[in-house]
Chain A
Amino acid sequence: MTRRTTSAVAAATLASALLLTGCGTQDALVGLRPAPAEKSVSAPLGDEGAADIAARVLAQAEAPIEGDAKKAAAARAVFLAGDALTVANAMAARGAAPAATPDLAVAPKPTIVGQSQGRAWPRAIVASTLDEATNTQMLHVLVSEKPDQPFKIVSSVPMFAGATLPAVAPENAGSPMVEVTDGEGLPATPEAVIKAYAAALAFPKPVATKAVSVDNAFANSLKTTAAAQAKALGKLGTLTQVHTPELKNAVSFRLADGGVVTFGLMKRTDTLAVTKAAKELVLPAEYAKLTGKKKVTKSLTLNNLETFVMLIPPTGQASVIGGAELLVSGKAL
């Protein structure tokens, strides 16, 4: 090796060594990289994590509750909230066994249908389960209100036979939650459509609407039963049914097609007014037990809770894909 070559190699080596002492090169040498940025518009949980949470909370809801009414109510509030808690408390007050009712009957393996989008609270999970005993698909909405609060079931609604829920959101993208007063991209706000649906279910004077279809299993059954009861009463009494939306706990999600799915609750009041043609009416055993009276001379009022799932597409008519009713209280005069 000549002196000139030796000098060149040595100088190049020295230059390289000096260059390698730079910070960026040091990081690169040991494989350090900047931490990746957090995606803020995706679903907050992976499907597996969401399924674990849903399975845990649904199992809690399925388990029997011990203790007196006060302790039982407190125990229910640990895993239920919103409309689901309203329904469960009403059932408990009536003395119905929660596990035997369709509202809270659950299958052990939930499938995650969707999640809310982003990192803000409240957060929601939509899960489905199959009740194998009745072959009924149940939709559940679980909500976590704050970072340090666990998810609770706020709605559990059986789907009608043959009904389907369109894709809530692309995989892992999450679905934005929508206020019931937000009609962006919709023919009308969810609140307005639900009010139209409630008015269209009224008996004996339904208010026709083009906003939402009332051709579903629940509405048809309601209409048929009311007509049969009215016919049976004849001139002895008059039957009216009024549906009142209770939307303070309603939960809505944006669907992949731009529409909205809303999980909500309505109260239905059935009023049977005894006419002068009848001195008194003898109540069926179920109503007698509920009201504490075997006969009525003036009127019978029955209060029901109706859970429902409504699809509101970006254009066209909304539809109801699931629902259930629960008779919670009554008053006989």
Chain B
Amino acid sequence: MTTIVKSVVGALLAVLGLVLTVIGAWFATQLGSSGTAQFTARPATTDPVIIRPSVLNRVESDVVVTATPAEGATAWMALANPSDAADVLGDARVVSATGVGVRDWVLLTRTVGSGEPPALGLADLWRQQESAQGPVTLTVTQAQAPEALVIASEGGTLETVTFTVTDKTWFVEAVVAVLAGLFLIVAGVALAWPSRRSIDEAPTEEVTR
């Protein structure tokens, strides 16, 4: 009975190790040695996009956000206190980032509100603003967290918003996962293998005595 349990546990460990190895290897190749994770949303709308602290300020690393408008359009991006951003947007219809999806490296969003967006650039509550015809990039350090990032476009839709975080430890962790997975595979096989050997060896011991 004990031998069977050990075999099952060994097999489970080996499977777990295999899964861990595959996942670790996948993350390592996706993140690269720099540990860069890039998530993309495709709002394809003229409504403002807001990235709140629940997405923007969950890590200690800098977050780089790039907004790309449709050809010929202007992108505008600004940082503010979360409550200020909420006040200025009011009940306006906005695309709110809700999280990230690792499988497709997607910035998850949903549309909230129903009112018309106000003229955001006139407000004097932005800590940092960037605007340009074409892609605009803004780096959010975590020094002034919590903050909310608001993105708007003029003269066309907002095509993509990319959210990039770089953390070298993620690559290291992915490699560690690969190594741990390999260890689990070995440990699992080691646990299962002696049980078979002990079955073979048991009669031999009795004969010797």
Residues on A facing B (Cβ under 8 Å)? 1, 3, 6-7, 9-11, 13-14, 17, 29-38, 40, 44-46, 49, 53, 119, 121, 144, 147-151
Contact = CB atoms under 8 A, between A and B. Distances in A.
Interface residues of B, number: 48
Nearest to A33: B58
B14 to A, nearest CB: 10
Interface string B182-209: 0110011011001000100000000000
B20 A17 contact: yes
Given A6-B191, A31-B61, A36-B145, 8 more contacts: A10-B13, A13-B183, A30-B173, A49-B126, A144-B125, A147-B90, A148-B122, A148-B123
B184 A53 contact: no
A51 to B, nearest CB: 12
A17 B187 CA distance: 13
Main secondary structure of the interface of B (DSSP, over half): helix
Main secondary structure of the interface of A (DSSP, over half): loop
Given A33-B58, A33-B60, A148-B119, A7 B6 contact: yes
Contact of B145 (A3, A35, A148): A35
Contacts of A36: 53, 57, 145-146
Interface string B121-136: 0111111000000000
A176 B51 CA distance: 30
A24 to B, nearest CB: 14
Interface string B107-127: 000000000001110111111
A17 B125 contact: no
B125 A10 contact: no
B127 A49 contact: yes
A45 B125 contact: yes
B191 A38 contact: no
A150 B124 CA distance: 5
A197 B64 CA distance: 56
B29 interface: no
Contacts of A147: 84, 87-88, 90, 123, 125
A38 B59 contact: no
Contact of B187 (A13, A35, A38, A53): A13
Contacts of B159: none
Contacts of A29: 173
Interface in B57-80: 57-61
Contacts of B125: 44-45, 144, 147
B13 A31 contact: no
Contact of B81 (A6, A9, A38): A38
B198 A32 contact: no
Contact of B59 (A17, A31, A49): A31
B106 interface: no
B120 to A, nearest CB: 8
22 contacts: A6-B191, A7-B6, A7-B191, A10-B187, A11-B9, A14-B13, A17-B20, A30-B173, A31-B60, A31-B169, A35-B58, A36-B53, A38-B53, A38-B81, A49-B126, A119-B81, A144-B124, A147-B84, A147-B125, A148-B122, A149-B124, A150-B122
A45 B170 CA distance: 34
Contacts of A33: 58-60
Nearest to B52: A35
Nearest to A18: B16
A140 B129 CA distance: 25
A282 B56 CA distance: 73
A151 B125 CA distance: 9
B190 A10 contact: yes
B154 interface: no
Nearest to B90: A147
Interface string B10-47: 10110010001000000000000000000000000000
A246 B107 CA distance: 54
Between B90, B146, B187, B198, the greatest number of chain A beta carbons within 10 A of the residue's beta carbon is seen for B187
B83 interface: yes
Contacts of B82: 38
B37 to A, nearest CB: 9
A46 B60 contact: no
